[in-house]
Amino acid sequence: MKRHLQILLFLFLVLFACTNKSKKEKNLPLSSSEDSLSIYFSLANDVDLPFQYKQKYNQKAFDIVKSQKDDSIKKVNLFKIANRYFNMSDWKSFHDVSKLTLEISISSKDSVNIAKAYTYIGDYFQSQAISDSAFLNYFRAEKIYLETNDNFHLAKTYLTKADLQLIEGDFFESEITVFKALKILKDEKDGAMDIYDSYNLLGIIYNQREEYEKALEYHNKALITLDDKSLAEDLQLKATSLNNIGFVYLRMNNFSKAKEYFRRGLDQKDLFNGNPVLYAMLLDNLAFSKFKSKDLNGLPEQFYDALKIRDSLKQESGIILNKIHLSEYYAFKKDTLKAIQFSKQALNLSRSTSKIRNTLDALKQIAIVDPKNASKYSKEYIQLNDKMLKAERSMGEKFSRIEYETNEIKDQNSNLQEKNKTLIYVFSICTLIGLFFYVYKTQQAKNRELLFKQQQQIANEDIYNLMISQQNEIELTRIKEKKKVAQELHDGVLGRMFGVRISLDSLDKIDEAEAASKRKKYLAELKYIEEDIREISHDLNREKSELINNFVVILNKLFDSQKNTHSSKLETSFDSHIKWELVNNIVKINLYRIIQEALQNCNKYAEADTIKIEFKSEIDHLVLSIMDDGVGFNVKRTKNGIGLHNIEYRAAECKGTVTIKSAKGEGTLLVVKVPIDQKINLQKNDI
């Protein structure tokens, strides 16, 4: 039922003006422009005259008013002209006159008429279905009324805004705006009509939100308000409220109650002549309620009577709803041809209007009565419904931006002020608590950083001691080897050389033939001694290399431990051009710790089959690369990990940089570049 009942929403809006029908003079006296102006105004508002005549008389009045001086009387007359253009739906002229009135009011700094002109321009944009521009102008008027404490017009502006929010489906904000108006109107003496409008709007809002009990409550309050004798009876407000109450019961599927209220509405005095639109609506609603309750007495004639009135008045939304009801009726009567015929007529007419809801209701009905093409209509329905929801959401957001992007709105009562004070207190307390936690967390972070530095210092000392210990071991080995070499030279080489020298001296005492034979023997012995000396020299070179590369020895011990403990294959490479003895000990310590941390991360998380560690010498830089073929990780998400933080910290200690490249399933590459003296990059001289 909701699909086709929502279309009635816009028809519930209250009419705010009435006109008195009377015969007017057709021959205009020309004694004075004031007399002529009064007559032109009267004729432009005469409902018995054709449109073109009313427009001509209003233009004549406008020509007179334009020549008047810019004072309060001129602005009053301009508003009268605008009102008459509004009544005859000449929207362009209405907008032009309203804009001119606004400009004159702004130049004279007339706040009251500036606000009034803004409401007129808002009415123009609402008539053109440009809701955001309409809302902006109503909001501008609202701000002026707030500043000037004009509560009566402020309440009227609230109601106009609420009506616009309701049309755009922004029910929650519309409800809030109506209650703002009610708070003001309860203290106003002449606010009976506006209070009725407020209750009526609240009833419609709650009905749309399916809060039916609340809807009935406020529609009944509106009905009670009509007991005020100051309200004009010819507005047919009682019939409007009875229709609205019946409509709530209709949506509740309480058809007997719905029929009761629709009949009471139709029984109101002079309803057909006074408000034929409302009469047709009540008649159609009554017929539909009877149909839903299986009471077919007087049907479908009542549907056709309502449709005939709406056709004569060109009420497009009403005509569409009427034809949907007739389609449902004939579908119930198994007359499929007529059911499809009326639903197609409703659909074609709805597509020519700007109201998407009309088309949605027609599509839903035709999909039911024409199942062969149901999929096509359903697809169009889904697309249009999505479009409508997006448009409503977008319009609600525009309203919110217009209303809340300024700080010029002030609270209207002490209750709201107290709430704001409470919010300020709560916010202040939360801010203080947040500040306390921020200081606390900052101090914790500083303490952790200090503890981390202390731990790093201890670790550096351990590594330094390890290197010193390794150096001592190498030094003891070197001394031992020196003693061994000295002993070899003394006991082996020198002894043998001394023997050869003595033997060579003895050659002078023997004949030449025997001496030649022995000389060859002694030369061979000297050759053996030369080879022994060369071997000792090579041993000394190896010892020096070990002394120079003791850092490499320490790393190799770490690598051996890794290989013995974990299953991953470890490949290492050292650039032979690096002079490790020239590299600063601090750099060595930090590089050792970086490798240690990286291996630990590989062992814990990477699940790698192969790990490659490489030292390379570049111009002015020592480069450490650690690569694995493991599972990889998201560098952005893991950027703040402790392990990576430690690596970056140690690289920074050496004034170096860290680059990490990794992705899920693609392994990880860690590159550390440390600036060093250029001479470290030079190739070693042969020793």
Tokens 């202040």 sit at which residue?
A: 428
Residue 567: per-residue pLDDT = 87
Residue 179: per-residue pLDDT = 92
Alpha helices in 488-509 (DSSP H): 495-505
Task: Report the greatest alpha carbon distance in the chain.
Answer: 174
CA–CA–CA angle 387, 389, 395 (5° rounding) = 100
Closest CA to 607 of 566, 573, 644: 566
Domain coordinates of the chain in residue numbers?
Answer: 33-149, 414-548, 566-681
Residues 369/340, Cβ–Cβ less than 8 Å:
yes
Residue 519 burial by CB count (10 A; 0-12/13-18/19+): exposed, middle or buried?
A: middle
Residues 356/387, Cβ–Cβ less than 8 Å:
yes
Closest CA to 671 of 663, 659, 661, 662: 659
Give, for 280, the enclosing helix (H) or strand (E): helix 276-292
Residue 7: per-residue pLDDT = 37
Q: How far apart are CA 171 and CA 395, in angstroms?
A: 12
Residue 167: per-residue pLDDT = 84
Secondary structure (3-state) at 637: coil
CA–CA–CA angle 128, 130, 136 (5° rounding) = 125
Question: Which ranges of the chain have pLDDT less than 70?
Answer: 1-34, 229, 232-234, 391-419, 459-461, 464-468, 470-472, 474-475, 478, 480-496, 498-505, 507-509, 511, 513, 522, 525, 528, 535-549, 638-642, 678-687
Q: Measuring CA to CA, how many Å separate 330 from each of 208, 361, 419?
A: 28, 17, 57
Residue 293: per-residue pLDDT = 93
- Single-letter residue type at 405: E
Q: Are strands 610-618 and 569-574 parallel, antiparallel or unpaired?
A: parallel
Closest CA to 121 of 107, 106, 141, 105: 141
Give, for 613, the enclosing helix (H) or strand (E): strand 610-618
Residue 658: per-residue pLDDT = 93
Residue 408: per-residue pLDDT = 45
CATH fold, domain 33-149, is 1.25.40
Residue 319: per-residue pLDDT = 93
CATH 3.30.565.10 for domain 566-681, yes or no, is yes
Residues 164/135, Cβ–Cβ less than 8 Å:
yes
The residue ranges of DSSP E strands in 441-585, in sequence order, are 569-574
Model confidence, pTM: 0.53
Residues 571/613, Cβ–Cβ less than 8 Å:
yes
Residue 266: per-residue pLDDT = 93
Tokens 């109506």 sit at which residue?
A: 178
* Cis peptide bond upstream of 300, omega within 30: yes
Instruction: Write the CB contacts of 334 (distance below 8 Å, at least 6 apart in sequence).
Output: none
Instruction: Write the CB contacts of 614 (distance below 8 Å, at least 6 apart in sequence).
Output: 572, 573, 574, 624, 625, 626, 627
Q: How far apart are CA 342 and CA 320, in angstroms?
A: 9
Residue 640: per-residue pLDDT = 60
Q: What is the chain's Cα-based Rg?
A: 50
Residue 9: per-residue pLDDT = 39
Query: How many residues in total does the chain contain?
Result: 687
Residue 242: per-residue pLDDT = 94
Q: How far is CA 658 from the centre of its chain?
A: 35
Closest CA to 185 of 194, 174, 175: 194
Residues 84/54, Cβ–Cβ less than 8 Å:
yes
- Single-letter residue type at 509: K
Residue 335: per-residue pLDDT = 93
